[in-house]
Amino acid sequence: MASTRKRDRHGSSVASKSPSPSPPTSVAATTLVLHQKRRRSVEVWNNFNFSSLPSPEWTLGPIIGRGQYGKVYRASCDDTRGAAKIIDTTEDDFHWLNDIRNEVCIMQRYSHPNVVKLYGAYKKALELKDHYQIWVVMELCDGGSLGSLAKTVTSRGDRLSENVIGYIIHEVLQGLVYLHENGVIHRDVKGSNILSTLSGNVKLADFGVAAKTMSHEVARRRTSIVGTPHFMAPEVIYCEYQDDLDYDSRCDTWSLGITALQLGDGVPPLTGKTNFEARRMIPRMKAPEFNKPDPWSSPLKGFVARCLTKDMDRRPFCKDLIEDAFVKIENLSQAKAELADLLGDLVSDPKSADTPDGSVRRKQPLNKAPSLPLVPEETTPSGDTVNAMFY
């Protein structure tokens, strides 16, 4: 049989006995492929049942964010403060909430100082028959997302210091190495999924599309197309077009490199391009770099270049980056204090108002939290009236 040519995950042309699949020619076709592969890709946890969740014992405060599935509220239980993600659903819809199930089960199983802590998952019945809310309550990261922090700083003509960027990357690496060693690939590392507390602690969040492999092998392969396109590694995108390709935890290394560029520039590469355009461009273009490289040091640019090695097999694992010169911060406590001071300045600045991810930097008090569907407008989902408060 005559051989044809097809493209491997690195973009090289290789021999094959069967023709390679053609990339979808429209946004609709690509969306369908992504949806189908995403449905197959999410980890199914047999020991998790939404119907068996307990009733919530948390009191809700104002809205502090909005996500794909619902709103996020400040929450408290006795002396514990948290953030409650609340999703409206029905008994018939439970099986569609694979991302929520995936996130809860991973966070229940794994705990690390650089991973957002899960306080619990709950189910609350609503007055309308067969309608429910799922509450996912996590620790409160009152410093907001570090993607929003970088965007706010650069929008004022300033930039995060390399000391702060190095500290953030160092902390994220610690969390990623822990996850990879336990067979978990995050698959959506980006600035908006890296949260902080006002004291400067850095936490990885959002495990809805994380993959739990069947073993603890760091190099366990995956084939599913999930993540945020602008942060997606080339080999992940190639899996969209060829079923015989796969990838491993080094896709998180690539996303971390894009995140480093985001922290420096305020926005990720290809900002302004649609998701479809980004997926088409990333495998074909050279590895991105800072918009203005000159101000940045050689260690930082070298770290980013290592992360953004397009050939996955030559790209380092996160555990290999721990000893990189850029992230070997001499005084971590000093860098942490610098981040905390920056967050504190933004909190006290009335110009730093609303942020898309619901960070603490909103200065104005809210008179009430907008309600979720099926809930009276003047109350929170728990039925408690919201008092005006600063946060």
Angle between the N-to-C axes of helices 162-181 and 298-307, in degrees from 0 to 180, rounded to the nearest 10? 30
Q: What is the mean pLDDT of residues 163-175?
A: 98
CATH topology of domain 144-346: Transferase(Phosphotransferase); domain 1 (1.10.510)
Residue type, 242: Q
Residue 5: pLDDT above 50? Answer: no
Residue 390: pLDDT above 90? Answer: no
- Per-residue pLDDT reduced to its tens digit, 246-288: 889 999 999 999 999 999 999 999 999 999 999 999 999 999 9
Phi, psi of 182 (to 5 degrees): -100, 15
- What residues are paired with 231 via a beta bridge? none
For every residue of 25-73, DSSP letters joined together read SSHHHHHHHHHHHHHHHSPP-TT--GGGPPPP-PEEEEEEEE-SSSEEE
DSSP code for 338: H
Percent pLDDT > 70 in the chain is: 73
- Per-residue pLDDT reduced to its tens digit, 226-235: 678 999 999 9
Q: From 229, 208, 223, select the one nearest 281 (Cα to Cα).
A: 229
What is the spatial distance between Cα 36 and Cα 163, in angstroms, rounded to a whole number?
A: 42
What CATH number was assigned to the domain covering residues 56-139?
A: 3.30.200.20
- Per-residue pLDDT reduced to its tens digit, 283-298: 999 999 999 999 999 9
Residue 225: pLDDT above 70? Answer: no
Q: From 22, 25, 21, 19, select the one nearest 5 (Cα to Cα).
A: 19
Exposure b/e, 264-285, CB count within 10 A at least 16 = b: bbbbbbbeeeebeebbbbbbee
Q: From 173, 150, 155, 187, select the one nearest 343 (Cα to Cα).
A: 150
pLDDT at 362: 33
DSSP code for 189: -
- Strands of the chain, DSSP E: 4-7, 13-16, 59-66, 71-77, 80-90, 118-125, 131-139, 144-145, 184-185, 194-196, 202-204, 211-212
CB neighbour class for 124 (10 Å; exposed up to 12, middle 13-18, buried from 19): middle
Q: From 340, 211, 203, 194, select the one nearest 258 (Cα to Cα).
A: 194
Residue 385: pLDDT above 50? Answer: no
Average pLDDT along the chain: 79
Least trusted range by pLDDT, from 129-143, 150-164, 190-204, 208-222? 208-222
- Per-residue pLDDT reduced to its tens digit, 47-58: 678 888 999 999
CB neighbour class for 58 (10 Å; exposed up to 12, middle 13-18, buried from 19): buried
Which residues participate in catalysis according to the annotation? 188
pLDDT at 49: 80
The answer to whether 312 and 9 are in contact (CB under 8 A) is yes
Residues 6+ apart with CB under 8 A from 47: 105
- Per-residue pLDDT reduced to its tens digit, 97-143: 888 888 999 999 999 999 999 999 999 998 888 889 999 999 999 99
**What does the domain layout of the chain look like in residue ranges?**
56-139, 144-346
Phi, psi of 192 (to 5 degrees): -75, -15
Percent pLDDT > 90 in the chain is: 59
Least trusted range by pLDDT, from 13-27, 287-301, 311-325, 339-353? 13-27
Residue 380: pLDDT above 60? Answer: no
pLDDT at 222: 52
Residue 188: pLDDT above 50? Answer: yes
Question: What pairing do the DSSP bridges indicate for beta strands 80-90 and 4-7?
Answer: unpaired
